[in-house]
């Protein structure tokens, strides 16, 4: 028997910024189901080269014993990750369906799919041209649709799997100035996450959405000088894979 429920949670981090998790998943009568040894898990993460937080998340997965497959469109930025034990690197454009399907054929099993790829457009709706809107939606939302649709059948065959989508507090949670296209795309990510979770909750699939506030990334450092510590966010990110219910 599987009990399904929706749960919201706020996490305060040391800087006063926060992360909010949109949760819709399952609590099974078999608590050991989601406590299996992480050494046997394969984690697949998209577009990690651009983000220091994503890199640290990957290292945390690898440190826990998981086999990690890290992807990015920029091969040069992936090379640094290749030296770490437990991490394999692949060049991938997550907006290209054919590339995703070809890579999926190489991967026999996927326990965790982390959709991290994203783009931040700055400006109001009046400053957002059609090409800006289309690019943002293509990378921030359509890429997740393509990744989930490709890898979900593998998880269903395994009767287990964890999907973690990266959203933001700048979404349906909170209005943020000069983030029209970005916030719209991240609100769509929340909707996509809840839909997938609801559809496959009784088939062993957990789909969760991480909605962080400001975290320390190269993109952030280009815009502001503040440097929030993302350690708590990273710990929660990893816990989504290992806890009984999230």
Kindly list the catalytic residues: 182
Please tell me the distance from the alpha carbon of residue 231 to that of residue 6, in angstroms, as a whole number: 26
Give, to the nearest 10 degrees, the angle between helix 180-200 and helix 130-137: 30
Distance of alpha carbon 143 from the chain centroid? 11
How many CB atoms lie under 10 A from the CB of residue 169?
Answer: 18
**138: how many CB neighbours lie within 10 A of its CB?**
15
Of 174, 172, 155, nearest to 163 by C-alpha is 155
Angle CA 88–90–92, to nearest 5 = 150
């Amino acid at each position: 028997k599987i009990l399904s429920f929706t749960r919201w949670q706020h996490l305060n981090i040391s800087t006063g910024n926060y992360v909010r998790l949109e949760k819709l998943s399952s609590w099974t009568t078999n608590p050991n189901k989601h406590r299996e040894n992480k050494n046997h898990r394969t984690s697949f993460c998209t577009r990690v080269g651009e983000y220091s937080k994503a890199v640290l998340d990957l290292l945390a997965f690898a440190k826990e014993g998981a086999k990690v497959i890290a992807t990015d469109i920029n091969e040069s930025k992936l090379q640094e990750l290749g030296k770490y034990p437990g991490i394999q690197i692949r060049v991938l454009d997550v907006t290209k369906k054919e590339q995703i399907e070809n890579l999926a054929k190489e991967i026999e099993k996927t326990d965790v799919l982390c959709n991290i790829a994203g783009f931040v457009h700055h400006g109001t709706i009046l400053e957002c041209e059609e090409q800006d809107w289309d690019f943002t939606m293509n990378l921030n939302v359509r890429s997740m649709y393509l990744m989930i649709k490709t890898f979900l059948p593998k998880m269903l065959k395994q009767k287990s799997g964890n999907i973690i989508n990266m959203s933001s507090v700048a979404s349906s949670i909170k209005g943020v100035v000069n983030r029209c296209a970005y916030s719209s795309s991240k609100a769509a990510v929340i909707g996509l996450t809840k839909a997938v979770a609801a559809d496959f909750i009784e088939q062993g699939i957990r789909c969760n959405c991480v909605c962080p506030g400001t975290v320390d990334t190269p993109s952030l450092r280009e815009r502001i000088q503040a440097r929030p510590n993302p350690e708590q966010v990273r710990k929660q990110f990893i816990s989504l894979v290992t806890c009984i219910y999230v």
